[in-house]
A = this chain, B = another copy of it.
Amino acid sequence: MKKLKIAVAGLGRIGKIHLKNLSRNFPEIEVVAVMDVFDESKAIADEFNVPEFTKSFDDLLAVPGVDAVVICSPTDTHADYVVKAAQAGKQIFCEKPLDLSLQRVKEVMSIIGETGVKLMLGFNRRFDPEFRKIRQLVQNDAIGEIQIVKITSRDPGPPPVEYVKVSGGMFLDMTIHDFDMARYISGKQVKEVFAKGAVMVDPEIGKAGDIDTAVITLTFEDNSMAVIDNCRKAVYGYDQRLEVFGSKGMVQAENNFPNNHKLYTESGISGDLPLHFFLERYDASYNQEMREFVDALVSGVEMPVDGNDGLQSIAIGLAAKKSVAENRAVKLSEVMV
């Protein structure tokens, strides 16, 4: 069987995960080229026996025979790279978000539509076994009509303030995953957002114009609700929980732990903290995400996460920002272009 040829752009934390998974676990493809702006990243190419290393995206696209590209470069390059790849006729996996501007996202989606290539967006949590199980139960009507979706999503620590400044803000950088999860689990459209935010972790984040703690209420089109609580810093680690309440019952996904031990001593019962951060917690999801990208490439079926999924989550994020700024409920239609 002829192997699909894949190129990977960007060898940061996520790029390396995708490269590792693609190299080791999927015999039906081969990674023929990787690109990164740093010379040092060539060592990574060598480690995974990738024959070509380039420093520009144009050079990557020019490597002969590439069928698909996996884009893991910084957010501000996503839109340009996706457009170039589409125009070169490559199938595309791109990390979220496509862009922080809804206008630009729409333009890119329009170009994608014209070229006929496929685009998959990297909302990796959709591929997490815990959340998959919840969605499957919801879809099997185990809890009936959804009334309330509850998402707890807290990071172990904030990113550097320099990053905060260019991140688009907590809602577009961090909560965007939760917005997508609310849509994924419920299968519903969000119509309104109310968000309260505070600076309780680091005053520097406030000076950078952002918040670090928030509670967000989403209203779906049928008036059912989702509520998300976020914090940039949970001293006990990465807190990723989900609960769905409906007319027939309720289902919860707990955190994942490095092990299940319980220690009983004179001073109490104790156990380990949850898996520390996204690399550990969502390890399986990254592999499954590539699995489904490759499967869709091979089989020609629809991509499991598409451009509209990215568009909706960005719009919800923009509405949340507006809601905090104006301390009022904001309709999605107010921000949607």
Interface residues of A (CB under 8 A from B): 24-25, 27, 47, 129-130, 133-134, 137, 142-143, 145, 147-148, 150, 152, 154, 194, 196, 198-201, 213, 215, 217, 219, 223-225, 227, 229, 231, 233-236, 239, 245, 247-256, 258-266, 268-273, 327-329
Contacts and interface: CB of A to CB of B under 8 A. Distances in A.
Given A24-B24, A268-B271, A270-B269, A196 B215 contact: no
A271 B269 contact: yes
Contact of A133 (B150, B213, B250, B259): B259
A272 B196 CA distance: 34
A262 B133 CA distance: 10
A127 B1 CA distance: 37
Contact of A200 (B223, B234, B256, B328): B223
Contacts of A236: 249-250, 264-266, 269
18 contacts: A133-B259, A145-B200, A198-B223, A198-B225, A213-B224, A213-B225, A215-B225, A217-B217, A235-B266, A236-B265, A248-B265, A249-B264, A249-B266, A254-B260, A255-B260, A268-B271, A269-B271, A329-B329
Contact of A215 (B129, B200, B217, B239): B217
Contacts of A250: 234, 236, 239, 263-264
A130 B260 contact: yes
A147 B215 CA distance: 10
Total copies of this chain within the assembly: 4
A290 to B, nearest CB: 14
Nearest to A236: B264
A201 B200 CA distance: 37
Contacts of A255: 260
A215 B227 CA distance: 7
Given A133-B272, A194-B217, A234-B264, 16 more contacts: A129-B258, A142-B265, A148-B229, A200-B223, A213-B224, A213-B225, A215-B227, A234-B245, A236-B269, A249-B264, A251-B263, A254-B261, A268-B272, A269-B270, A328-B328, A328-B329
A142 B263 contact: yes
Contact of A270 (B152, B196, B217, B268): B268
